[in-house]
Amino acid sequence: MARIVMKFGGTSVANLERIHNVARHVKREVDAGHEVAVVVSAMSGKTNELVGWVHDTPKTAGASSPFYDAREYDAVVASGEQVTSGLLAIALQSMDVNARSWQGWQIPIRTDNAHGAARILEIDGSDIIRRMGEGQVAVVAGFQGLGPDNRIATLGRGGSDTSAVAIAAAVKADRCDIYTDVDGVYTTDPRIEPKARRLKKIAFEEMLEMASLGAKVLQVRSVELAMVHKVRTFVRSSFEDPDAPGMGDLLNPPGTLICDEDEIVEQEVVTGIAYARDEAQISLRRLADRPGVSAAIFGPLAEAHINVDMIVQNISEDGTHTDMTFTVPSGDVEKAISVLSENKEKIGFDVVQSESGLSKVSVIGVGMRSHAGVAATAFRAVAEKGINIKAITTSEIKISVLIDGAYTELAVRTLHSAYGLDKK
């Protein structure tokens, strides 16, 4: 017998038929004798609808300002998960499974006060553990918790993944199964490279890089939590027949296991290729090369909540001036330029230039730590395809290159092939 947390995303619970299918997945684990908690998202499209209502209400009411109370935003958008948890509990009860729904505040999942993007501080899992021990399935509304102001607080888009991993850590689950519309983590996006392979295992660090660099399988914060608390996490498909061979395998169910690096016996040099479109590059020309100039640039950008990624600095021959180039999401270009212009006198640059429509393509693998020539292979491969690299960043386990967006798919396929990921 094991203790399992199962999470189902919006597409998995999109309608009553799919909720019934989810209930069959849950019943399979209950019938096998496991203690089960389930975390659910809102039905597909519901959160967007609720967010739209919140945005439109001030205008409909004739308000002069489009702003609204973030606490009320949370009260509205958290209702989507509340509906799903209740419906799934009813579906399970209809199949003679002892189940009840839980809202975030009932557990409670305690968060900070950042309404709309709250972070989990602590979870008291004792009541759920007791109920699970009595044979009851806990159906938990994901994405929500209880803020210090005693109001519902939501965790940001994709927050149900984070809820599931956090609850798995709190109840000391043997594993956390994330059911989604894909059947695992692939070496790259199968829509771009049909030869992409599903990975049997991937290390926490690799998955964290994949998620932060463009892979949409899991929310970044959920992977961070899993890594910190060593929560073995399976990415699985909810669209597989719940009773198909192997679906009830406790140790090796179909899907991808995200686990500690020590669990992976045969570690590949490169695990996968990730990409992120809609990157933009901003360059500040002829900056004075003096202490504090970087802080003068990136401090105001951080205060404006603009995420800066690749940073490249070039110093002039005489050592008196420098050019600073960095990337931001395309949607933040105008805001970033406005912030920089407001601080021009303090920063001391001649001109600011920008270029949108770029993409970041990344090569990821913990095996890079002990193998030379990984970067050279990447640079040679894209050069042979005539793709110009505008910027490069590296870490112990990743190499990212910035290129023109038009070459994204070509670069992904080229790098995927260069490291033999299409042949193994």
CB within 8 Å of 76: residues ≥ 6 apart: 50, 53, 54
> Cα separation of 339 and 357, whole Å?
21
326 annotated ligand-binding residue: no
**Taking the CA of residue 37 as centre, how many other CA atoms within 13 Å lie in the half-sphere pointing to its CB?**
32
216 labeled binding residue: yes
Whether the CB-CB separation of 256 and 234 falls below 8 Å is answered with yes
Angstrom CA distances, 319 to 276, 286, 353, stand at 35, 11, 22
One-letter amino acid for residue 285 of the chain: R
Do the annotations mark residue 119 as ligand-binding?
no
47 appears as a binding residue in the annotation:
yes
The answer to whether the beta carbons of residues 361 and 392 sit under 8 Å apart is no
81 annotated among ligand-binding-site residues: yes
Residue 181 marked ligand-binding: yes
- Would the annotation count 9 as a binding residue? yes
Give residue 43's region: left, alpha or beta (phi > 0; psi -120 to 50).
beta
Residue 8 assigned to a binding site: yes
Is residue 10 a known part of a binding site? yes
Residue 7 annotated as lining a ligand binding site: yes
262 annotated binding-site participant: no
Bind-site residues for ATP: 7-10, 180-181, 186, 191, 216-217
Bind-site residues for substrate: 47, 81
Bind-site residues: 7-10, 47, 81, 180-181, 186, 191, 216-217
